[in-house]
Chain A
Amino acid sequence: MINTIASFISAAIIQSIPLLYGATGEIITEKSGNLNLGIPGIMYVGGISGIIGGYIYERMAVEPSAFLCIIIPLLSTLIGSGLMALIYSFLTITLRANQNVTGLALTTFGIGIGNFFGGSLLKLFGESGSISLLTTGNYYKTKLPFADDLGLFGETFLSFGFLAYLAIAVAIVSSIILNRTRTGLNLRAVGENPATADAAGINVTKYKYLATVIGGAISGLGGLYFVMDYTAGAWTNNGFGDRGWLAVAIVIFALWKPSSAIFSSFLFGGLYIICVKIPGLSGAAKELIKMLPYLVTIIVLVFTSARKKREHQPPAHLGMSYFREDR
């Protein structure tokens, strides 16, 4: 029994990591007042950028070193997803385009990039078969050295690659920055009321750009974790599925707090995988259980809007662009 529970917890953690990256990135973005619906696309690009970086390095290097195998895909992901967020920022902040429309176009574009290169990368390099970066994948999957000595506890909580722990660290650090520093206060001011922030001497444009690009880059890491650790360096088209939208849902569920996002992601990861773990379920029942994360999000959304507690609301200026001369 305890083994079943332990294996469920560890499976839920694995599922939760991409969601946590996506949610943390989106929270930082939304705090600046930008509702980036391009996150699902950005996460696809994050994944495929890592794959492309890793693939090119594995092709070139005679003996791939562990350090470069880790660092090159990591940097490619940060750059790829950061650039995607930059497209969004330029269109919505500088050109003041509609955020929903831009975000949705970015998602189409990003998923297109992911699936195109995922399906054609080898062909473009004149090879055949499907992408499989076992070497890089294995480095990403390396467990903590002492995990095996700690028995069940080690297996359940310590048997993941470093990106899993990084996700939690990033969420905690973001939470501290948002709530305990001057930068965080300024950023929240920009999201709540950019005109006031502007009057107080905060550079609204700079904060919006930085938050969106950094948030996008963090979300991209979720894609990297998925392709390198979860699938061990392999790419399947649409394999990442709708996890990006789930990440957007977690932002609501966590009430725009990165620290709550850690637990929320775990919960959603659990809901995502629970249908596989309950024995003897019919196929139809499984599909109904998969509905739960979305249903739960809607319930949270309705309750928070009905209770109108001020600290549980989305940033007041979420989804609107800011132009200084519009008063």
Chain B
Amino acid sequence: MTDNKKIREPLLRITKRPSIVWWKAWIILAVAILAGFLLGSLVIYALTDCAPVKVFKSLFDGTFGTERRTWFTLQQTAMLLCVSLAVTPAFKMRFWNIGAEGQVLVGALAAVTCIVYIEDMIPNWLLLIIMVGSSVIAGMIWALIPAFFKAKWNTNETLFTLMMNYIAMQLVSFMIMVWVPNGSSVLPTQEFGWLPAILDKKYLFSILVVVVLSVLMYIYLKTTKHGYEIAVVGESENTAKYIGINVKKVILRTLAISGALCGIAGFLIVAGAEHTITKDTVGGNGFTAIIVSWMSKFNPLIMAFSSLLIVFLQEGSSRIAETYSLSDSISDIVTGIVLFFIIGCEFFINYKVNVRHSVKAAKEDK
């Protein structure tokens, strides 16, 4: 009897859920996002005296307030979504490609290089095609280098791809120094290789490209044999080998696709918006994309909403900071808080927390 008292049930006991009804999962996620928003707006309130109820309105105003802002928000969302799409196949395979930043950057660098050396020697449409081609190849190479070593020697890809980012950044700095050897070392806006404006909207072309890419990626992952192989390798490499999937081939092929899409993202950034390049052209999107892809459960359609949520938070809170002439880094703080809540809520979807009392109650029920 005394022994029994010593070994008491812990207050909280955790068990894995075999499955969860979809609407329960959504409710948990919604509560988490709401809680994140609440805490985020409290932080904004503490720092700026902007009343919490007003924060949401200001966020909205900062992102969709004017037509110009709306287009800008949509363009930013499209870019983030494009990089998220790119990392998804690799990510689903459990290949931790955190080198999207670098892969996009070399894609952008390839596009700018074409503009700088070709200029108006050929018609614009031909230049654009050459730019896409070189961006895709550059992004592919950047992704295939770590993939090759992963397939051959199981080299840790997380750290490898991370280092590749900084090599890409230095490469960009190097090329800028070659092009602009003295003075500002800033590459001026290029006149050639602009994507055509559709219906007078500058960003529409690149947004449409990303929409098409999302649909294609959805089909690729859900319905094709390749998509199935990716899923199996991600779940268990041994199972994949057992059923005769060539794991090395799948790794290389998937990373080639991932890198190519990153290259396209780089091209869109250059030809559709920036028309120049700096070390920070990608601006951390390569890292944010990993979070977007993961919190959307690798589903390209949900990713569109997640990207919009992140851009909404970042652009909106920068706008608030601007109003109160504070540093716009507040957007990273608010985004971080919301992300923590989203990351944390995953636990409550996958696991069930049993309180001691409820265990007793369950026993009595029996």
A and B associate in one complex: yes
Q: Which residues of A contact B (CB under 8 A)?
A: 35, 37, 87, 90-91, 94-98, 100-102, 104-116, 118-120, 123-124, 237, 242, 245, 248-249, 252, 282-284, 286-288, 290-291, 294-295, 297-298, 301-302, 305-306, 308, 314, 319, 323, 325-326
List chain B residues, Cβ under 8 A from A115. Answer: 327, 329, 332
Task: List 7 A-B residue pairs with CB atoms under 8 Å apart, sorted by A's residue number.
Answer: A101-B294, A108-B287, A116-B47, A282-B177, A287-B177, A302-B155, A308-B153
Task: Report the Cα distance A279→B267, complex, angstroms.
Answer: 37
Residue of B nearest to A119 (CB): B327
> Are A104 and B98 in contact (CB-based, < 8 A)?
yes
List chain B residues, Cβ under 8 A from A283. Answer: 177, 181-182, 185
> Are B284 and A108 in contact (CB-based, < 8 A)?
yes
Contact (A305, B153) CB under 8 Å given A95-B346, A118-B327, A294-B166: yes
Residue of B nearest to A88 (CB): B340
> Are B290 and A100 in contact (CB-based, < 8 A)?
yes
Does B260 have its Cβ within 8 Å of any Cβ on chain A? no
Contact (A284, B174) CB under 8 Å given A101-B294, A298-B163: yes
List chain A residues, Cβ under 8 A from B153. Answer: 302, 305-306, 308
List chain B residues, Cβ under 8 A from A287. Answer: 170, 173-174, 177
Task: Report the Cα distance A135→B363, complex, angstroms.
Answer: 66
> Are B166 and A305 in contact (CB-based, < 8 A)?
no
List B residues 261-300 near A (Cβ within 8 Å). Answer: 284, 287-288, 290-291, 294-295
Task: Report the Cα distance A73→B317, complex, angstroms.
Answer: 29
> Are A105 and B343 in contact (CB-based, < 8 A)?
yes
Contact (A98, B343) CB under 8 Å given A119-B326, A283-B185, A325-B15: yes
List chain B residues, Cβ under 8 A from A325. Answer: 14-16
> Are B174 and A100 in contact (CB-based, < 8 A)?
no
Contact (A116, B155) CB under 8 Å given A97-B344, A101-B294, A291-B167: no
Which residue from A123, A245, A284, A301 sits with its C-beta under 8 Å from B166?
A245
> Are A105 and B170 in contact (CB-based, < 8 A)?
no
Residue of A nearest to B172 (CB): A287
Contact (A100, B163) CB under 8 Å given A124-B47, A284-B181, A302-B153: no
List B residues 121-152 near A (Cβ within 8 Å). Answer: 149, 152
